[in-house]
Amino acid sequence: MLKPKEKPKEKEPQWPAQRYILVPDVPGGHEHHLKSAKRQEKLSDMLRDMLVGKKKPVEAQEGEQQLSLMSSWVDQLKREREALASTDKKGGPNTTATLVEKYGKCQEIVGRGAFGIVRISHKRKEGDNEQLFAVKEFRRRPDESEKRYSKRLTSEFCISSSLRHPNVIHTLDLLQDSKGDYCEVMEFCAGGDLYTLVLAAGKLEVAEADCYFKQLMRGVEYMHEMGVAHRDLKPENLLLTTHGALKITDFGNGECFRMAWETDAHMVSGLCGSAPYIAPEEYVDKEFDARAVDVWATGVIYMAMRTGRHLWRVARRDEDEFYERYLEGRRDEEGYGPIESLARARCRNVIYSILDPNPSRRITASQVLKSEWGREVKLCKAGEEGI
Evaluate if residue 155 carries a pLDDT over 70: yes
Which domains, from first to last, does the chain contain? 88-187 (3.30.200.20), 194-385 (1.10.510.10)
Give tens-digit pLDDT for 162-214: 999 999 999 999 988 777 788 999 999 999 999 999 999 999 999 999 999 99
- How many angstroms separate the CA atoms of 77 and 112, rounded? 9
- How many angstroms separate the CA atoms of 262 and 226, rounded? 11
Dihedral sign, Cα of residue 228, residue 231, residue 235, residue 237: negative
First to last CA, the chain: 42
- How many angstroms separate the CA atoms of 250 and 195, rounded? 14
**C-alpha 355 chain-centroid distance:** 18
Output the average pLDDT for the chain.
85
- How many angstroms separate the CA atoms of 18 and 34, rounded? 8
pTM of the predicted model as reported, rounded to 2 decimal places: 0.84
pLDDT at 90: 47
Give tens-digit pLDDT for 43-71: 666 656 655 555 555 444 555 666 777 66
Q: What is the mean pLDDT of residues 339-363?
A: 96
Indicate which residues carry an active-site annotation: 232
Laid out side by side, the sheet with 116-124 consists of 105-113, 116-124, 130-138, 182-187, 171-176
- How many angstroms separate the CA atoms of 210 and 195, rounded? 15
